[in-house]
Amino acid sequence: MPEDPHHRSRGSDHPVGMDVARRVPPADGGGDDDDAAAIGLCWGQPKIPDPFVWPLADALASSETELDAPVVDVGAAMRGGGDGDGMRRAAEQVAAACASHGLFQVTGHGLDPALARAALDGAAAFFRLPLAAKQRARRAPGDVTGYAAAHVDRFTANLPWKETLSFGHRDHWAAGAHVVVDYFTSVLGSDFKPLGVCVYHGHTNRVVYQDYCEAMKQVSLAIMEVIGVSLGVGRSCYRDFFADGCSIMRCNYYPRCPEPERALGTGPHCDPSALTLLLQDGAVDGLQVLVDGEWRPVRPRPGALVVNIGDTFTALSNGRYRSCLHRAVVHRERERRSLAFFLCPREDRVVRPPPRLLATARGQEERRRRYPDFTWADMARFTQRHYRADARTLDALARWLGAASPTCDAATSASQSQDKAQETV
């Protein structure tokens, strides 16, 4: 088994100060009921406990300058349009954002507002439940699905001021399987079925989270078409790669915090997945992106979805598109909710850039690979069992896999990582 990176030492060159020397390993026997109960009591206290206090380097003050993130109309891709002006304009906007900081917002996605509202309301209903009820869905060690209170099942310091509920989604709709509903009823019990099946916009007994995940998957694939055009590999290249993939749905709840200047809802990190689609509830901001050494807020826009590039797609683009380094802040007087949909490939699919992206201008030689081959199963296992996702997860994964590959130029990889750290949770 490759060396556990938690036991490696590294210098203090991390852009936001989270070096390996103080990255916290998973707590022994994570998921203890007493730990979760203690966390539940923290939300109403006048001071935050020490495990929630983040180092100053990570909790730098927010910038007054809003992130320059384009609003991209993906309607042409959603409608199956060809290479018209709408697609070209969308591809140009996406290319500029992804080469810079890795985040943009999308409209024209066709998401039913009533479905979005029902999904947000369902999450709110879950987080209002007594802790004992939520603990029935407690996430098992090493798993990506289930309920987590401040991730006390995994860490003992730098805890995020939030609760989450995560579950998986696969494309089994054609077979008539309600995968998400099955999760709610099998893990939480039949009395939780209304969270998976309820009424929205007059549609009786619609499977809300199944419908929502399916809608997000279709939007994700349309965005992958736009990204393919932007990189010159064609509309179908990345769409086909993710068509049979797995996805993760996560409901986030950020309670009011008595000392928001010392806490974080989510620490600085890049998402391990390929693409993240975020639906924010109302006008409460919280998402921030690191650009030029400043944490710039992402203003919620009515009707828009926030999209950011993750580490898996950075590898698929051979480093041309940046994984978005971001964090979430919390507020003293306002709580915040959001829904995050993480697009991932099939577990056994090999992540490597398409040949057309590696070809030189003459098409005779291949450009140097910046990252080794890996599967989504590798990435998921690494980030759930061995490493706390941060700004250098992709490089750490390469080391963990023993990335002594003749196609992987170490100097180029290090240079790209440094650029990402300087310019881009």
Q: pLDDT (tens digit, 9 = 90+) per residue, 196-252? A: 544 455 554 467 888 899 999 999 999 999 999 999 999 999 999 999 998 999 999
Question: Residue 294, CB half-sphere, CA atoms under 13 Å: how many?
Answer: 11
Q: In angstroms, rounded to a whole number, what is the distance separating the alpha carbons of residues 132 and 380? A: 28
Q: What local confidence, expressed as pLDDT, does residue 415 receive?
A: 35
**94, 157, 225 from 230: Cα distances, Å:** 7, 41, 9
pLDDT at 118 over 50: yes
Terminal alpha carbon distance of the chain:
29
349 catalytic, yes or no?
no
Does the domain at 5-423 match CATH 3.40.640.10? Answer given as no
**pLDDT per position as a tens digit, 277-310:** 999 987 789 999 999 989 999 998 899 999 999 9
Confidence band for 153, pLDDT divided at 50, 70 and 90: low
Phi, psi of 315 (to 5 degrees): -65, -40
Which listed residue (206, 336, 369, 370) is catalytic? 336
Given a contact cutoff of 8 angstroms between Cβ atoms, the answer to whether 309 and 188 are in contact is no
Q: Which sequence spans correspond to the domains of the chain?
A: 5-423
* Mean pLDDT for the stretch of residues 369-385: 91
Q: pLDDT tens for residues 397-411? A: 999 988 434 444 433
pLDDT-derived band at 161 (thresholds 50, 70, 90) equals very high
Distances (CA, A) of 224 to 140, 146, 218, 323, 343: 32, 28, 10, 15, 10
pLDDT band of 156, cuts 50, 70, 90: confident
Looking at residue 192, its pLDDT comes to 58
Residue 423: pLDDT over 50: no
pLDDT, position 10? 29
Tokens linked to 320:
């041309």
